[in-house]
Every structure is written in C-alpha cells, then in structure tokens.
Amino acid sequence: MLNVILAKLNGHASEAESLSAALLQLGRDRDETRAKIESLQKQRHAALLDDASDTDLDKIERQIDRATVRLEKLNISEAPLVEKLAGARDAARRRRWRELHDSYRTAAGEFLVSARAAAEKHTALISIVGQAQREGFADDVRKTIPATPNANGHPLLAPELLDIFERAILPPATPARRAAPAAPRSALPKAADSLQHSITSAGGVQIPPDLLRAKRRSPDTAPLKHDQVRVKVLRAGYSPADDQPQCHYGDIIRMLRESAEVVAAHGIVEIINEPVRRTAASTDKPNVGARES
C-alpha cells in the first residue's frame, strides 16, 4: 500500500506538500473503508436473520475480508508516511535556512561596501578636526564642532569594528589536502577576487597596510609634564600630529591636556586618570599643592 501511495505522487514523494496531501487522503480512505466494513457487517447480520444462502453469506464475508485487509494496509502505511513527511519538512527547512543565510551574506557584503565608504568619509571628517586643532583652533573646535556619533566611546562604523564583523561573516578557510600538489603561482586567486579586496576597493582603504603590519608601540609610562595627560587610543589610524606615526586601537600615548580633551570629546581617545604624584617635601607640608612630575 505504501508503494502505491508513493507512486501516485508522480515523482513528488520527497516534497512535504505532496506527502502531507497523501496523509490526508490516507485518512479519508481509512474512514471510507471503516464505513464500508460497518455497512457489510450490517448486511451480514441481516442475511443471517433472513437465513440467506451460504453463497450470499460467503460473498458478503469475502467483501468484509478484503475491506479489513485494506484497512490494515492503510493503518501500517501511516507511520512510514509520517516519517517521510518529517524528513521532507526537515530537508525543506535546511534548504530554506541556506537560502536565507546566502541572502544574508550577500546583503552583509553590500552593507560592508557602504559602511566602509561611510567610515572613510568619517575618517576624513576627523582629520579635518585634527588639522584645525594642530593649527591652533582647538578652542573653536570645542565650542562649535559636535562629537561624531559613537557608542561607549567607539565611533559608529569604525573600521576595526567593521573588520570584526567581516571576519564573522566570512566562511572559514578550507585546509588544503596533503596529497594535493601545490597550485602554480599563475593559478592562485588574485587579490581582486577576494571579498576583502573588493570591499576595500569599493569603500576605500580604512587602515593603511603599513599600520596593519607594524608592531604595536610600547605603552608610554614616562613621567608626564604638568600640561600633559596620558590617553588610550580608541580609533585605529589616529595620529596626534602629521609628523607622528599612526596609532593602533588601545595604544597608550601622551598628549597635551587641552588637545586630549578635545579629541576625547569626539570619541577618538580616552583620558586615563592617574594619581597625582607628590614630592617628599610636599608630604610634610599639606598646605602646599603638589605638582605633577
């Protein structure tokens, strides 16, 4: 019976909709067969009361037997049909997830292109602010230029955050088989074929390659002058001055207090509060204010 039911699906036995329709039809056939058996049982009872001939009774009983066998076939076909339906639904769910995941990856790539372009414009915006500060307009910047959008000190669409997101959506690299011969240099994929290169080419290079290859600078721990503060850099690629190297995220550097306060207001650095150092003489004279070393 199961093979007959699957044959009627005409090549759609692996589709959830077809299997679900077959289960519904199986239920209708079973109800119909039960009703037929009940009707034949009544006919047999009436024939016994009427003292019908053995030939008539045999005919009714053969019909009852055939209907009973059909009902049994229908009953035992239900379980494997339900199992096939569950498998088909699970396969359809996996296919749908792959479609959604592929759509997400495509949309994420398009987002990264736009986001990196916006991040590049944001970097250009901040560089203008830094240039104005270096030319002596720090007070004007503080009074007239608002801080760019940021979350907990991290600028929105910051290049380092986009890098983290991109690494999360990219598939892991497939390890090469040991027995496979090394591909000739001419057959290796070009940089332009990679998602990273296409995104940075469309959106602009956010972090210079020499910065990515450079080692992090050692944290600045030397004593500060009275007009200096120590800061933690929150934006990769930031440079306190044109003649100074660019910073990594998390670098500890020193800056003039006035400049640091302006840059910190834009979420580029975070001022590190350090305990005030006092000389030995100052500890004996509490009324004399200690200066920072």
Residue 55 lies inside a defined structural domain of this protein? yes
Residue 124 lies inside a defined structural domain of this protein? no
Q: Is 204 helix (H, G, I), strand (E, B) or coil?
A: coil
210: CB partners within 8 A, 6+ apart: none
Q: What is the pLDDT of residue 103?
A: 92
Please give the distance of CA 209 from its chain centroid, rounded to a whole number: 27
Higher-confidence residue of 4 and 48: namely 48
- Strand-pairing partners, residue 228, are 256
For the chain, what is the domain count?
1
Residue 230 tokens read as 């120590």
Q: What is the pLDDT of residue 40?
A: 94
pLDDT in tens, 90-130: 998 999 999 998 999 899 989 989 988 888 888 888 889 88
pLDDT band of residue 9 (cuts 50, 70, 90) is low
Residue 72 lies inside a defined structural domain of this protein? yes
pTM, to two decimals: 0.44
pLDDT in tens, 136-189: 998 998 888 888 777 777 777 888 888 888 888 776 555 545 555 554 444 433
Instruction: Tell me the residue range of the domain where 17 lies.
Output: 2-104
Phi, psi (degrees; rounded to nearest 5) at 251: -65, 145
DSSP 179: T
Residue type, 280: A
